[in-house]
Amino acid sequence: MTTSSLQLGTWLSTGSPAIAELAAMCGFDWLLLDLEHGCEPEAALPGQLRALGGRATKPVVRMGAPHPDQIARVLDWGAKGIMVPHVESAETAREIVSAAYYAPRGRRGLSRTVRTHGYGLTFATDAESAPRIMAQIESVEGVKNVEAIAAVDGVDVLFVGPADLRHDLEHHPEWNVADFEACLAAVVNATLKYGKAAGILCRDVETITKFADQGFTEIAVESDLSILRQAYQKILTDGRRSQ
């Protein structure tokens, strides 16, 4: 894989506009603003999106669930993409696409005065600014249906949630399914077959090359909370060692 094809992101869970702005200034390709497990409610999201306004870094918002009203709101507020957890069927994937697009492709409600259209000063059609849709594959059922999900027009990325997928595999041994690495290969193969991108979250910089070599091109590394936790722990460990 060439370096230019790799898109690096990171998870933002604190809900801080300052951290979002700093991460964008550092040059990440995309940032994931987390509404599923993040610390801030949906109402705090506009502030983070404003902090990223006009920058090359793309803000992607992870939904709590595939709710059409929430999908429409975050896109109205200026998100450039959405990530939806626990996508397990082509039907769910099609519903997500429908919620994210205007007619005739979808059923998203249209307001020309929202932030994404410059509060009425501009208007960007779906063709000009199509939202990037990331469907998370986080379960055995999702892996079983991964080709059908990848085939859905409008789904751009199949994004593996490694913690949930490992948990599902470990707690359902009776299903006698493939191991974790085989599941990753199935996701990558489906994206190659249907011209989509494969994504994954990794917990350390050292594993970026491993996942990139496997065919993942949208890789999120660490989260703001994890980075802060590790830095705080290092300060305390090194500081106490010096006494």
Q: Is there a domain that residue 159 lies in?
A: no
Q: Is there a domain that residue 211 lies in?
A: yes
pLDDT of residue 129: 79
pLDDT surpasses 70 at 143: yes
pLDDT tens profile 36-77: 999 989 999 999 999 999 899 999 999 999 999 999 999 999
CA–CA gap between residue 111 and residue 16 (Å, rounded) = 27
Q: Is there a domain that residue 114 lies in?
A: yes
CATH number, domain with residue 223? 3.20.20.60
Query: Cis (ω within 30 of 0) for the bond into 104?
Result: yes
3-state helix, strand, coil in the chain (%, to 5): 45, 15, 35
pLDDT band at 134 (very low <50, low <70, confident <90, very high): very high
Q: Is there a domain that residue 234 lies in?
A: yes
pLDDT of residue 128: 76
Mean pLDDT calculated for residue range 82-96: 98
What percentage of the chain has pLDDT greater than the value 70? 96
Kind plus residue range of the DSSP H or E element containing 51: helix 45-51
* Spatial CA neighbour of 96 closest among 86, 17, 76: 86
Active site residue: 37, 67, 171, 172, which one? Answer: 37
pLDDT band at 3 (very low <50, low <70, confident <90, very high): very low
Q: Is there a domain that residue 150 lies in?
A: no
The count of structural domains within the chain is: 1
67 has catalytic annotation = no
**Cβ proximity of 31 and 20 under 8 Å:** yes
- The predicted model scores a pTM of 0.93
One-letter amino acid identity for 136?
A: Q
Burial class for 119, CB neighbours closer than 10 Å (0-12, 13-18, 19+): exposed
Q: Is there a domain that residue 161 lies in?
A: no
**Cβ proximity of 41 and 13 under 8 Å:** no
pLDDT of residue 171: 85
Structure token digits, residue 67? 């709710």
Q: Is there a domain that residue 95 lies in?
A: yes
Domain that holds residue 121: 3-133+196-241
